[in-house]
Amino acid sequence: MNRIAFLGPHGTFTEEAVWAFGLDDAELIPADSPSAALRMVRAGEADRAVVAIENSVDGAVTSTADALIEDHGVQIYGETELEISFSIMTRPGERLEDSETFATHPVGYQQVKNWVAAHAPRAEFRAASSNAAAAEMVARGQADAAAAPARAAELYGLTVHARGVADRQAARTRFVLVGPRGVPTARTGTDRTFVAFQLPNEPGTLVGALQEFAYRGVDLSRIESRPTGQAHSTYNFFVELVGHIEDTPVAEALRSLYLRASEITYLGSWPRVDEPGGKPMIDAARLGAAQDWVQRAREGK
């Protein structure tokens, strides 16, 4: 893993996540979106990509979910979490309260907008492709102030007016390590599995699909839907499961989901960074006994 694509430019929280994965010696390749970072992996221009997938304040990072199934061919191998707070910066010599434009990533803005309203009340929000890109916009005179990691102020020669800014303390963002499709990360017993699927547009299909997990005691840690961008009223459903594809209940649920889905994409199994919650899965030995019982019935025993 010598080449790592990440949401750039340098100075983003995503770059910090690369270091959190222990990839300090890698060649870092900035990308202007999660989709662009994953395209580099698909094209062989990067060995892995690090992208944000979920924020504790604003929820799922939908651009990453869409990018993961854009052309298939990639999957997730690991995750890390960062506690997110921002530094507020301007060009040297300027007063924050005089700012008329304020830039940051839209997800980041949800974490600081109340603070900004109180301290830069005249500032109009301008969306940036990343938090570090917002700092770059300030340096170029395209915005008056920005919320970004403190390192971005150093990189772009800006003055920091406040540090540790967050409307909600202890906000966290989860990042994933994505690579070409291959053998999943080994099972640890504290794992997460991610799949995306489409269903026939018929009554009860989603309920039936989700029951496959409930029947087997597989906990869902997250579910969301996104328009496919193809036929009207068609959706991709993204589901995160507690467990690994090597866990018998998860494997059985996915096998049954495959039979129900019109399209399904496996997006990886990997170790969780937090403690799993929810109901424990049905014991694998009990599932094995059930399978043996069915087999004996088939054989007339």
pLDDT tens for the chain, residues 1 to 301: 689 999 999 999 999 999 999 998 899 999 999 999 999 999 999 999 999 999 887 788 888 999 999 878 999 999 999 988 899 999 999 999 999 999 999 988 988 999 999 999 999 999 999 999 999 999 999 999 999 999 999 999 999 999 999 998 878 899 999 999 999 999 999 999 999 999 998 899 999 999 999 999 999 999 999 988 777 778 999 999 999 999 999 999 999 999 999 999 999 999 999 765 445 556 666 767 777 888 888 888 8
What is the pLDDT at residue 282?
Answer: 60
3-class DSSP assignment, residue 44: coil
- Per the DSSP assignment, residues forming a β-bridge with 240 are 194, 222
Q: Which two tokens stand for residue 58?
A: 């604003």
- What is the C-alpha separation between 133 and 148, in angstroms, rounded? 9
Q: Rounded to whole angstroms, how far apart are CA atoms 250 and 114?
A: 42
Q: What's the residue count for the chain?
A: 301
Structural domains in the chain, CATH included, are: 1-82+172-182 (3.40.190.10), 86-165 (3.40.190.10), 183-301 (3.30.70.260)
Which of 133, 142, 89 has its CA nearest to residue 107?
Answer: 133
Three-state DSSP class for 225?
strand
Q: Which pLDDT belongs to residue 154? A: 95
Whose tokens are 């099972």? That residue is 187
Q: What single-letter amino acid sits at 81?
A: E
Rounded CA-CA distance 217/291 in Å is 16
What 3-state DSSP class applies to 150? helix
Would you state the pLDDT for residue 278? 47
What's the pLDDT at 292? 82
CA separation, residue 226 to residues 1, 56, 219, 229, 268 (Å): 31, 19, 21, 9, 19
Query: What tokens were used for 125?
Result: 């929000």
Tokens of 270: 């990997």
Q: Kindly state the tokens that stand for 66.
A: 């869409």
State the pTM of this model. Answer: 0.86
Question: In which element (H, E) is residue 243 found?
Answer: none
User: With contact defined as beta carbons under 8 Å apart, do 115 and 192 qualify?
Assistant: no
